[in-house]
A and B are shown apart, each in its own frame.
Chain A
Amino acid sequence: LAKTTQPISMDSYEGQEVNITCSHNNIATNDYITWYQQFPSQGPRFIIQGYKTKVTNEVASLFIPADRKSSTLSLPRVSLSDTAVYYCLVGPGNTPLVFGKGTRLSVIA
């Protein structure tokens, strides 16, 4: 499985756009990039997934450059309720998810 590297933590003020970048230099051709969010005392929750270019849903956008060696999760106009740990996972989808330490996002009023 491709190893991922994310910042350990980030702080942001409410209303700001937050971009969390994940490095995955040894991503394989059949790997997808998936992001999960985890609030305290809750299970992880799927946010978004992509293979290349840009994907957008009602929660976030995912930007993937052509070489696919990194990806950026973009959260528009964050609120206090977006305070959570965000995990970047890379894999072909037919193997169990392997979670790293994630990025702890703290949104400040």
Chain B
Amino acid sequence: EPEVTQTPSHQVTQMGQEVILRCVPISNHLYFYWYRQILGQKVEFLVSFYNNEISEKSEIFDDQFSVERPDGSNFTLKIRSTKLEDSAMYFCASSERQGVDSPLHFGNGTRLTVT
């Protein structure tokens, strides 16, 4: 079964540094998402992306965050200047289309630790 893959699995960075989290969505999927989960808390929506632009974003997704699909396969999340509170699991997801009959497929996440 095709999978969403994320790299790296664990990233440690110092406060104020920029990080880029990478994702390879399932190849025929058109909608892409980033979610995050702070340890012990809920899975939170960050942003959705379709047709090379952001479709929706949450309040969490402020100016420090950006997303990009630099080529036909990768989907990236950049945090410009990391803060301690950005420490979390970041999950990428993709879906074939938008709608109830097209469930999201999640990757196994990147654990970001900001020190």
Q: Hey, which bits of chain A sit against chain B, CB under 8 A?
A: 32, 34, 38, 41-46, 49, 51, 87, 92-102
CA distance A38 to B42 in the complex (A): 11
Task: Indicate if the CB atoms of A95 and B56 lie closer than 8 Å.
Answer: yes
Task: Indicate if the CB atoms of A41 and B109 lie closer than 8 Å.
Answer: yes
Task: Indicate if the CB atoms of B99 and A43 lie closer than 8 Å.
Answer: no
CA distance A87 to B49 in the complex (A): 23
Q: Within 8 Å CB of A96, what residues of B?
A: 33, 45, 48, 56, 58
Task: Indicate if the CB atoms of A32 and B45 lie closer than 8 Å.
Answer: no
Partner among A38, A46, A94 whose Cβ is within 8 Å of the Cβ of B103:
A46
Partner among B4, B101, B111 whose Cβ is within 8 Å of the Cβ of A93:
B101
Which B-chain residue is minimally distant from A42 (CB atoms)?
B108
Q: Within 8 Å CB of A97, what residues of B?
A: 45, 104
A31 shortest CB reach to chain B, Å:
9
A29 shortest CB reach to chain B, Å:
13
Given contacts A96-B45, A99-B44, A100-B42, is CB(A43)–CB(B108) below 8 Å?
yes
Task: Indicate if the CB atoms of A92 and B100 lie closer than 8 Å.
Answer: yes
Task: Indicate if the CB atoms of B100 and A42 lie closer than 8 Å.
Answer: no
CA distance A51 to B105 in the complex (A): 20
Which B-chain residue is minimally distant from A32 (CB atoms)?
B100
Q: Within 8 Å CB of B102, what residues of A?
A: 93
Beyond contacts A46-B105, A94-B99, A97-B104: 10 other A-B pairs, Cβ-Cβ < 8 A, are A32-B100, A41-B109, A43-B109, A44-B43, A44-B106, A45-B106, A92-B100, A93-B98, A97-B45, A101-B42
Task: Indicate if the CB atoms of A43 and B56 lie closer than 8 Å.
Answer: no
Q: Within 8 Å CB of A46, what residues of B?
A: 103-105
CA distance A32 to B103 in the complex (A): 12
Q: Within 8 Å CB of B98, what residues of A?
A: 93-94
Q: Within 8 Å CB of B48, what residues of A?
A: 96
Within 8 A of A (CB), among B79-106: 89, 91, 93, 98-106
